[in-house]
């Protein structure tokens, strides 16, 4: 959340120029998406090119998927806490890239993509990468993930440029939706993790 707030404040800092706000938001999405895509490509290609890793994934992926889903779900439900924050780093980075003008949004998106919080790390490394390996996709799923994670920044940047008064209400509504979506997703992950564990590890169903 701190990263998104920092990104929104950077992208929408020139409210008088809606075109520049939109361009900054688009560059931010591009930078973040390419960073996620590049990292996923390297990880997946590396795993596939190493016979031992490939053999391990083929043989044990269905066994470790259950525990991974349970742990990710616990992160989403905040049953597991890690003292990690990116607020200070985000503010310092914002000052450094501000001198780059509109192109600073591209750099900001790329760097923020690689600055994982516990929740985003759980999604990316615990779900996206294993799922991409399982379906043999190193582009489609990371591309969708990158666009989806950066899209809120673009939406609120445009809202700020068009109507400063309405963005506060919209942000509060999205915050509530995000809370419920995270809770529901967390429980779904845990239930699926329990199912996979019972089916493939304990073989009781």
Kindly report, residue by residue over 45-99, the tens digit of the pLDDT. 877 766 666 567 667 767 887 888 788 778 778 888 655 444 444 456 556 655 6
pLDDT tens across 136-161, in order? 777 888 899 888 888 888 777 777 66
Mean pLDDT of 13-40: 83
Question: Encoding tokens for residue 20?
Answer: 């520049």
pTM for the predicted model, two decimal places: 0.67
Total number of domains in the chain: 1
Choose between 105 and 12: higher pLDDT. 105
- Look up the domain containing 73 and give its range: 2-201
Q: What is the pLDDT of residue 89?
A: 47
What per-residue confidence (pLDDT) applies to 31? 92
What is the rounded distance in angstroms from the CA atom of residue 189 to the CA atom of residue 76?
9
Buried-exposed string 95-113: b where 16+ CB fall within 10 A, e elsewhere: eebeeeebebbbbbbbbbb
């Amino acid at each position: 959340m701190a990263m998104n707030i920092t990104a929104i404040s950077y992208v929408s800092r020139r409210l008088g120029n809606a075109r520049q706000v939109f361009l900054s938001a688009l560059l931010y999405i591009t930078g973040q998406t390419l960073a996620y895509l590049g990292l996923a490509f390297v990880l997946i290609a590396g795993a596939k090119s190493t016979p031992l890793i490939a053999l391990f994934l083929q043989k044990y992926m269905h066994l470790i998927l259950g525990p991974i889903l349970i742990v990710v779900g616990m992160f989403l439900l905040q049953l597991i806490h890690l003292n990690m924050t990116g607020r200070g780093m985000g503010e310092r980075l914002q000052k450094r890239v501000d001198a780059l003008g509109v192109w600073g949004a591209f750099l900001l998106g790329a760097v923020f993509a690689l600055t994982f919080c516990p929740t985003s790390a759980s999604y990316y490394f615990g779900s996206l990468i294993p799922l991409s390996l399982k379906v043999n996709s190193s582009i489609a799923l990371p591309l969708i993930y990158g666009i989806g994670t950066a899209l809120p920044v673009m939406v609120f940047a445009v809202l700020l440029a068009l109507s400063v008064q309405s963005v506060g209400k919209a942000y509060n509504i999205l915050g509530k939706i995000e809370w419920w979506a995270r809770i529901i997703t967390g429980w779904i992950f845990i239930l699926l993790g329990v199912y996979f564990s019972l089916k493939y590890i304990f073989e009781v169903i």
